[in-house]
Amino acid sequence: MTTRIDPWTSAGIEDYSKLFEEFGIETFAELLPHVPDPCPYMRRRIIFGHRGYVPVLDAILHNKPFGVMSGFMPSGRIHIGNKMVMDEIIWHQRKGGSAFVGIADMEAHSVRGTSWQDCRRIGVEEYLLSLIALGFEPDGHIYFQSECSDVRDLAFELGMKTNITELSAIYGFSGETNIAHLQSALVQSADILQPQIAEYEGPKPVVIPVGADQDPHIRLVRGLANKMRMFRCEVRSIQGVPYVSVRGKSAPPDALTKIFETIIGMGYNATKYKLHIDVQAGDDIHDEFVEAFPVGHAFNPHFEIAMRKIESAVRRIEIEFGGTGFMPPAATYHRFMSGLSGGKMSSSVPESIIALTEPPDEAFAKVKRAKTGGRMTLDEQKRLGGEPDECTVYELLLFHLIPDDAHIAEIYQECKSGSLMCGACKAHAAELMADFLRDHQQERKIARERLGEYGLS
């Protein structure tokens, strides 16, 4: 049966491996050895997949410009599942990325019916205070969709590059879907592309950390980024020998001529036709790139460098002639957190979450009541061992509460062996969760005093 994923339901994903085959998501495991000081979500395989992350990783490794962007729909309380995205944004910001955070008030208003006043209140009081408390720096960009003219204007332009049929195929929209809901999908795409506009120093690799339910947004925006281009660079081959073909899409003839002259000036052999340029570019090589990225190339790393140089030149000239030069945004995908009683953790199901704003003693009690991976009886637990992979309490420890990898591995093995009982594990997790919330809520008070540094009030 085909897996269905969409951004607006609370259904979980039962088999993540299907996403590689059915949706073309790539495994993150191949890239992990090359990531400097990977965040815990990467090390623990909680981030399981990606689309197009190699240019972002290349930028991190070689101190090149890149961005990180994600958003939050202000329709409910912030919970520890939302914290994952915030942690990933902050990690990329600390690696040198320009960080963008959008509060999706237009989406909340159109999809959830949240009032504009509540969108503002929830956006600041729930999400932004926690974002700042977790370590988001003031050099990042925080905005509300409804107040950002760049996003609204770009969404209008993107609307000219798609249609209702395409949106329906991606999201499963029906004839009953209201127009504002359709528009909110385009606004999301504008959010994701905004870090590449001229005001923010133009095109660059940008990564969007998301759960797999947000993949429809990523597929849409990657397609729109390509549709907004004047030119596309394609890898083609003749008898197995690759070459680059630069092809115009209603581009000014003078732009194609300048691209041809530039490529010749770079030392490549090229042939210019009426609407495209073919480039033989197989001899370029940079040893540092080959060493950094020994995997994931369609042909070979020698050719990859040439391809990137040509793409960069084409993008620069396109911008000179009024184009966007957008790069397809990348994404990392993390596993969902399970709800405390099973299923996906979602703010639309209050009993499934631990909110970052709820009293620590209430969170303590929730953890004590949470569904575990224990056996039916104490004797079975000792004899057969527990099932930590099916345990929401172990997930809390793995995702958020145990920073040391060796410690979490020890807990896993003790559970599997039957030497750790659920009662003791729950009590430990409940204490850690209460302690975390006390500390975080104190940081939120400090964050409130710092709102002015972020242009908020």
Query: Do both 106 and 252 map to the same domain?
Result: no
By the 8 A CB rule, do 128 and 143 touch? no
Q: Look at residue 14 in the predicted model and tell me its pLDDT.
A: 52
Is residue 79 assigned to a domain? yes
DSSP summary character for residue 250:
S
- What range defines the domain where residue 357 resides? 350-454
Show which of 287, 303, 334 is a domain's final residue. 334
Model confidence pLDDT, tens digit, residues 21-67 = 566 789 999 999 999 999 999 999 999 999 999 999 999 999 999 99
Q: Mean pLDDT lowest for which of 4-13, 181-190, 275-284?
A: 4-13
By the 8 A CB rule, do 308 and 290 touch? no
Query: Do both 130 and 25 map to the same domain?
Result: yes
Q: Look at residue 216 in the predicted model and tell me its pLDDT.
A: 85
Q: What average pLDDT does this structure show over 321-325?
A: 94
Q: Look at residue 299 in the predicted model and tell me its pLDDT.
A: 42
Q: Is the pLDDT of residue 245 over 50?
A: yes
Query: Do both 192 and 72 map to the same domain?
Result: yes
Q: Look at residue 249 in the predicted model and tell me its pLDDT.
A: 78
Is residue 7 assigned to a domain? no
Query: Do both 388 and 281 map to the same domain?
Result: no
Element (H, E) at 90: helix 80-94
By the 8 A CB rule, do 345 and 400 touch? no
Is residue 3 assigned to a domain? no
Q: What average pLDDT does this structure show over 99-128?
A: 94
Show which of 334, 362, 385 is a domain's final residue. 334
CA nearest to 133, candidates 356, 309, 398: 356
How many helices (H) and strands (E) the chain has is answered by 19, 11
For residue 67, how many C-alpha atoms fall within 13 Å in the half-sphere facing its CB?
Answer: 27
The count of domains in the chain is 3
Model confidence pLDDT, tens digit, residues 183-235 = 888 999 999 999 999 999 999 999 999 988 888 889 899 999 999 999 999 88
Q: pLDDT higher for 79 or 250? A: 79
Q: What average pLDDT does this structure show over 414-442?
A: 93
Q: Look at residue 224 in the predicted model and tell me its pLDDT.
A: 95
